Amino acid sequence: MRAGEEAAYREFYQAYYDRLFRYLLVVAAGDLEATEEALEATLLRVVRYIKVFAAEDIFWSWLTVLARSAFSDQSRKQRRYLAFLERFTRHQLVAAPGPESSAADARLGAALERSLAALPADERRLLESKYFAHRPVRDIAAELQTSEKAIESRLGRIRRKLKDALIDQLKNE
């Protein structure tokens, strides 16, 4: 297969196709469509990255790793696509704000103000720089003399902290 011989691929296909299919069917919890997509991606990866193995069990272990990663990639791609469709649909279906949404927006705004005020000053400044002043992460990182990745990580932790605080406040109202 490594030399591009079609006969070698046919032999591989006959020996492992059904076994990989059954393996992926279990991984996909019986989802036939996901199984078929992951199997196709797995076979492409086998052709692309094939190498020589000392034993059949080592080769099978390598195949299962390729299959699981192909399934994970397909699942992640599907989730992203569905999330995009949901956001797009939700954006299209936004209704004109009524009195009840104005009251909810006011409650949320007040809870957000309290949660922001409760944050340490450095975390609040970081959020304000990024989301209120719309500064690029690159500029914030340069100002704080750190990496962009560090700033993105801090922003993620602060957003989770802020979300948890908001949820707690809204539950307790």
Q: Are residues 88 and 104 in the same domain?
A: no
Q: Are residues 128 and 83 in the same domain?
A: no
Q: Are residues 47 and 107 in the same domain?
A: no
| Helix, strand, coil % in the chain, rounded to nearest 5 | 80, 0, 20
Burial class (CB in 10 A: 0-12, 13-18, 19+), 106: exposed
State the total domains in the chain. Answer: 2
The residue among 114, 105, 89, 131 whose CA lies nearest residue 166 is: 114
Q: pLDDT per residue over 37-94, tens digit each?
A: 999 999 999 988 888 889 999 999 999 999 999 999 999 998 998 888 888 887 666 5
In the DSSP assignment, the letter for residue 113 is: H
**Residue entry with tokens 């959020």:** 127
Q: Are residues 25 and 75 in the same domain?
A: yes
pTM score of the predicted model: 0.48
**Residue entry with tokens 């704080």:** 144
Q: Are residues 78 and 108 in the same domain?
A: no
Residue pair 123/133 in contact by the 8 Å Cβ criterion: no
Range(s) of the domain holding residue 158: 99-172
CATH code at position 144: 1.10.10.10
